[in-house]
A and B are shown apart, each in its own frame.
Chain A
Amino acid sequence: GQQVMQIPQYQHVQEGEDFTTYCNSSTTLSNIQWYKQRPGGHPVFLIQLVKSGEVKKQKRLTFQFGEAKKNSSLHITATQTTDVGTYFCAGDFNKFYFGSGTKLNVKP
């Protein structure tokens, strides 16, 4: 079946360090979405990327969509404790499949 692989599974950083999570697909995606789920919470939509090579920024978050539309990344600059949570990508294969998520822990 269609799959979106996401790495790493876990990431522990010191506050102020950068963080990156990666999503990879074996097939071309129509678009990709990113979500954040706080501990005990529900996934919250962050952004959608549609175009090949697209880069979008939201404050300290930078989202990239690969040229071949098979991979994507989310980079957080200078993490804060409020960034704690699990970050999911969701690839569009005519319906959306979620990656396994990257759990980010930020030590103050």
Chain B
Amino acid sequence: DTAVSQTPKYLVTQMGNDKSIKCEQNLGHDTMYWYKQDSKKFLKIMFSYNNKELIINETVPNRFSPKSPDKAHLNLHINSLELGDSAVYFCASSPRGGNYGYTFGSGTRLTVV
């Protein structure tokens, strides 16, 4: 069983569209995250939820909206997609606080054309 699974794996869409990425973890972790990895491989945290509560909201355009229906799920909705949103988006989870390491999903490669 995949510990952190995210869908879709690839997403190609036109500028201006709205899209969602879904993430689910079966590890029983309290905290989930969204990270963005750009073409230079920088991993930047976007959001963090602890047991459905938003605890980290980095400087991210408000076109990005996370939603956590329960502690095992964290979805990412993106409105009005722009070319600069093209990147790989990783979902991750950890026991509370991030100690003992993050478990990452396999990533969603988003390409905006």
A residues at B contact (CB < 8 Å)? 31, 33, 35, 37, 41-45, 48, 86, 88, 90, 92, 95-98, 100-101, 103
Closest to A97 in B: B45
Task: Please classify how large the interface on chain B is, using the bins under 10, 10 to 19, 20 to 34, 35 or more.
Answer: 20 to 34
Instruction: Indicate if the CB atoms of B43 and A88 lie closer than 8 Å.
Output: yes
Q: How far is the CB of B24 from chain A (nearest CB, A)?
A: 15
Instruction: Indicate if the CB atoms of B42 and A42 lie closer than 8 Å.
Output: no
Contact with A along B7-45 (1 / 0, CB 8 A): 000000000000000000000000000010000111111
Give the secondary structure class of A's interface: strand
Known A-B contacts A92-B98, A95-B98, A96-B98; A45 and B103 likewise in contact (beta carbons under 8 Å)? yes
Known A-B contacts A95-B45, A101-B41; A31 and B99 likewise in contact (beta carbons under 8 Å)? yes
Question: Across the interface, which residues of B come within 8 angstroms of A101, CB to CB?
Answer: 41-43
Instruction: Indicate if the CB atoms of A98 and B107 lie closer than 8 Å.
Output: no
Interface CB pairs A-B, < 8 A, 9: A31-B99, A41-B106, A42-B104, A42-B105, A43-B90, A48-B99, A95-B98, A98-B35, A98-B42
